Structure 1
């Protein structure tokens, strides 16, 4: 462990130049006292590291010194595909490996390429979740990832809301994990074709001793493209039937997004005497649907499924009690 940290410290100085003990400690996840000891160890081993005093001082390598000891470990190599996504990498348990892999790759690059890579990292950042959204709680993501990596069967308890709400138990073989708009999805095969499970809706996960053989013709990216297309065409069973006022219909693109609103417009009925029209809207789950429809206030009425209507009514009653009490 210490040898790996000493190498990381040396590569940090090589890639970034002068760094203070506090900066190094923050990067390595140790105390400044540990950094002092590690710098002494590097110097004793013949690494030309020296200290500059003063407000802008810090540790630095002698000009021109470079190490070629940048070989990736197996875990670091496996994590390379996540090097642009620090948050998701940490959720999958690869945070430390990704950081180490990035550092070693940077050290191995020629100086012009390394400078270009640093400029890109300083100027571009990927933030997957939408505005005003907290990331889903995904306590079983790591277990799903481990089973996926090892090609092992798992048993999951899954909270669904269509076609019949409740928690179901499934024995599945994980085939892939997908991060879509800040939400993790597990693609897994059971007794039938592969299906998609929202990881935050997995309430229990148990690894099973049986190994599973991954289908040779399964393409995760191709499967996901087909799934998204089917979902966005509202062929999926997870839809809500609503009645919209003219004002609600006008506001629908702001609430669901332009594409979902266009899909909903294909299902619109003729307006009634009051101008209201029915539509079928693709939605993620009951809680997501409730939050979305509440944004339309009194310009929408949910008609189906029953659990959505019930959840909306209970939420509205709770809000009314809250405001009466104040």
Structure 2
């Protein structure tokens, strides 16, 4: 904590200039006495900080002096090592660059932070892929990434759920979600999302485009995913589920999980309970609910229950025919 506080004082003095002890104490949420002790510690470490007395006095750094680590606090430095994703960087063709950047950052850190930074990178690892996924790397990932950087239009042949069409898109950003790469792009004035693995062919157009000044990729993605979930849940099903069935239902999606967690469920003596859950269109909902098995019974709507019954009967018939 103290090392972090010392660097924070250093950054405040470097970016704002002369600052009073009272102001430092307020921002750091410590006593003025602690601030004076920290200033003494900085001076002992060779930082040219001095005090000016008087009504407008305070602490300041010697003119022209700056730390090598501009604006970076100790927690922020640790976070940079904590958040490294060598897998995605490698897929983008930036594996070597990411490694070199980490080495340069490490060299810029004060000596007593380097060991801590190494511990962070050696003890935590992020794997963004789901279980049992083959680690598929989209064929055109690097080309799309280059088009994002250079703001260049690309022509793609894209296979959607309904057909395959040729399109010209203006790529605005790449997103890795659940181990799957997506490109967010502008086409005909609208912003759309394309799954990279469904791009069948890609070619450069040689044409550049102007990126919308107010476009923010993280904000857009958050809202787009929320809107997507709102749009696909078009109905409600009445179900009866065991405790294990309720856990399986929560795993279907965040929307279903939130709906179940908002309920006051009163199980019967056997642990089963009736409640409503949001569902997608009947065909997909019947597939998902059949997959859960005997821990969930669909009570309604009638067409959904009939579809689940049909799925179960088809499976039972298949096993009877095969004699197993």
Pair 1:239–1:325, CA change in 2 (3 A): farther
Per the alignment, residue 295 of structure 1 pairs with 291
Structure 2 residue runs without a partner (length 5+): 1-79, 263-272, 302-306
Per the alignment, residue 139 of structure 1 pairs with 139
Q: CA deviation at 1:106?
A: 1.8
Q: CA deviation at 1:320?
A: 4.3
CA–CA distance in structure 1, aligned partners of residues 106 and 81 of structure 2: 15
Per the alignment, residue 324 of structure 1 pairs with 322
Structure 1 residue runs without a partner (length 5+): 1-79, 267-274, 304-308
Q: CA deviation at 1:256?
A: 0.8
**3-state SS of 2:219 partner:** helix
Per the alignment, residue 251 of structure 2 pairs with 255
CA–CA distance in structure 2, aligned partners of residues 83 and 245 of structure 1: 41
CA–CA distance in structure 2, aligned partners of residues 137 and 290 of structure 1: 31
State the number of aligned residues.
224
Pair 1:118–1:128, CA change in 2 (3 A): same
Per the alignment, residue 182 of structure 2 pairs with 185
CA–CA distance in structure 2, aligned partners of residues 155 and 148 of structure 1: 13
**3-state SS of 1:105 partner:** helix
CA–CA distance in structure 1, aligned partners of residues 160 and 112 of structure 2: 52
CA–CA distance in structure 2, aligned partners of residues 201 and 226 of structure 1: 23
* Cα-to-partner distance string for 1:8-29 (whole Å, 9 max, x where unaligned): xxxxxxxxxxxxxxxxxxxxxx
CA–CA distance in structure 2, aligned partners of residues 140 and 226 of structure 1: 26
Per the alignment, residue 125 of structure 1 pairs with 125
CA–CA distance in structure 1, aligned partners of residues 116 and 82 of structure 2: 19
Pair 1:211–1:191, CA change in 2 (3 A): same
CA–CA distance in structure 2, aligned partners of residues 203 and 114 of structure 1: 45
Q: CA deviation at 1:241?
A: 6.7
CA–CA distance in structure 1, aligned partners of residues 175 and 82 of structure 2: 12
Q: CA RMSD in A?
A: 4.3
Q: CA deviation at 1:188?
A: 0.3
Q: TM-score, normalised by structure 1?
A: 0.55
